[in-house]
Amino acid sequence: MRQPPATTGEASPPLDPADTEAADTDPDLLHADLAAIDLSAIDLTDPQTYLSSGLRAMWARFRAESPVHLHPATGGKPPFWVISRHADVLAVYRDNKRFTSERGNVLATLLQGEDSASRKMLAVTDGPRHRDIRNLMLRSFSPRALAPVVEGVHRRTGELIDQGLARGAFDFVTDLADHIPINTIGDLMGIPAEDREQLVHWNTQTLSRTSADHSETEEWLARNEILLYFSGLAAARRRHPGDDVISALATGTVDGAPLSEEEIVFNCYSLILGGDESSRMSSIGAVIALSEHPDQWKALRTGAVGLESATEEVMRWTTPAMHFGRRALTDVELGGRTIRAGDVVTLWNSSADFDEDVFADPYTFDLARSPNKHVAFGYGPHFCIGAFLGRTHVEAMLAALRERVAGIELLGPPRRLYSNFVFGYSGLPVRLTA
């Protein structure tokens, strides 16, 4: 709802586990929190909105009452469309003729009117150039290239779980989850081990905030630090290429010409953004969900459910990237509304992944769920290039928990990130028992 952001300087308020669990299981409570609120009074640009325990009720109302919703102008920013139903989200994702990513693909840049990485980074490039650069990068995601990376994910995850067991009480975010995806993408990109912790810090600042007084200036500075870092690394790989994705970008050609400096640097930046944050948040969310659903924890431990279906349900349940966006290139009719050329359109994965028309009992955490057509990795031409690695991270975490851990105990409420893009956590005190 519209309200000024907190200014206490503390981490954003944690969810109350009792409220969260009740919202998962009590149909009446599910629609209680926001049932009387006018949808036009809900501010989806405000990170404070996503700290509400009534988020699922809110999205259920959008799907039922206003599935193609025009969000009013807020804080000097233009109005934008909110697409909440699964079918409509898929329709826009796959339509790269009438909707473009080239003027931004998240609220922050779309509402500014532009993205400085437009036509330089895969996520905000369309057409033949997008296809050609994607194909160039996919060579580094081949089974041969990824085999040692995947082995490293499983080994590193097991080692970190063992360290957590030995420690007893620890923070699952900072002591464990922060160290896995960045090392995987670091292996893939050939990033020196001593630089990876700093990249995690910059990445978190870029995509989300730990509190309301983490400023936009800090986000901008962190983004530039990442870009400068990769500029130096790309220059080194041109001189001494290796078998890594940065070398592939730095030495590769499209239509016989090398990529520009900006294309190389921005696509390195994109891999860090997508490869680190999403996997971390899904793994953290998996531990929370398993602790709150002992029946599913038991099913995982006993082998009653397989790792593949469990991984897909964790991705759906957590859906770290709450939205992506497009800009309309022409007038489009959708859900009985007319989206005009030039309008900003946001696609809410965090609603689509709980759409009652697609998922039976969507508010039930079911590791055996099948089919599971979630959009946690997007859909269509811009489907996440690192989806395989994202799934690998979650599967490795579930496998390590199943093989090594007998009990999961939350020692305090999870601390939520302050973000209108990433749904996740900045802290999770836990105790694992062997």
- Residues 293-318 have pLDDT tens digits of 999 999 999 999 999 999 999 999 99
Higher pLDDT, 98 or 270: 98
Reported confidence tier of residue 204, pLDDT bands at 50, 70, 90: confident
What is the pLDDT, as a whole number, of residue 185?
87
Decide if pLDDT at 127 tops 80. Answer: yes
The pLDDT of residue 36: 65
- As to burial, measured by CB atoms within 10 angstroms (0-12 exposed, 13-18 middle, 19+ buried), residue 349 is buried
Q: How many CB atoms lie within 10 A of CB 405?
A: 19
- Residue 416: helix, strand or coil by DSSP? strand
pLDDT mean across residues, the chain: 88
pLDDT at 15: 31
Local structure of 101: helix, strand or coil: coil
For 19, residues 6+ apart whose C-beta sits below 8 A from its C-beta are: 53
The predicted-structure confidence for 307-356, as pLDDT tens digits, reads as follows 999 999 999 999 999 999 999 999 999 999 999 999 999 999 999 999 99
- Give the per-residue pLDDT at 304: 98
Q: Which residues are bridge partners to 83 per DSSP? A: 68, 347
pTM for the predicted model, two decimal places: 0.87
What does the longest C-alpha to C-alpha distance in the chain come to?
A: 63
CB proximity list for 385: less than 8 A, separation 6 or greater: 122, 134, 137, 138, 141, 271, 274
What radius of gyration do the chain's Cα atoms show?
21
Peptide bond into 371 cis (omega under 30): yes
For residue 6, pLDDT over 60 is answered with: no
| In the block, residue with structure tokens 């946690």 | 376
Query: Mean per-residue pLDDT for 81-87?
Result: 98
CA-based end-to-end distance of the chain: 43
- Exposure letters 86-109 (e unless 16+ CB within 10 A, then b): bebbbbbbebbebbbbbbbbbbbb
The amino acid present at 369, given as its one-letter code, is R
Q: Residue 48: which of 72, 30, 74 has the closest Cα?
A: 74
Q: How far is residue 6's CA from residue 254's CA, in Å, rounded to a whole number?
A: 48
3-state secondary structure at position 112 = coil
Contact indicator for 256, 374 with CB cutoff of 8 Å: no
- Residues 286-307, buried b or exposed e (16+ Cβ, 10 A)? bbbbbbbbeebbebbbeeebeb
Q: How confident is the model at residue 26 (pLDDT cuts 50, 70, 90)?
A: very low
Strands (E), 269-355: 323-328, 332-334, 337-339, 344-348
For residue 338, the SS3 value is strand
Which domains does the chain carry? 17-433 (1.10.630.10)
Please choose, from the candidates 400, 376, 402, 401, the residue with its C-alpha nearest in 3D space to the C-alpha of residue 390: 376
β-bridge mates for residue 327, sequence order:
100, 344
Q: In the prediction, which pLDDT does 210 show?
A: 52
Contact 252, 267 (CB under 8 A): no
| pLDDT in the model for residue 223 | 84
CA 346 from chain center: how many Å? Answer: 15
How much is the pLDDT for 386?
87
H/E segment holding residue 157:
helix 143-167
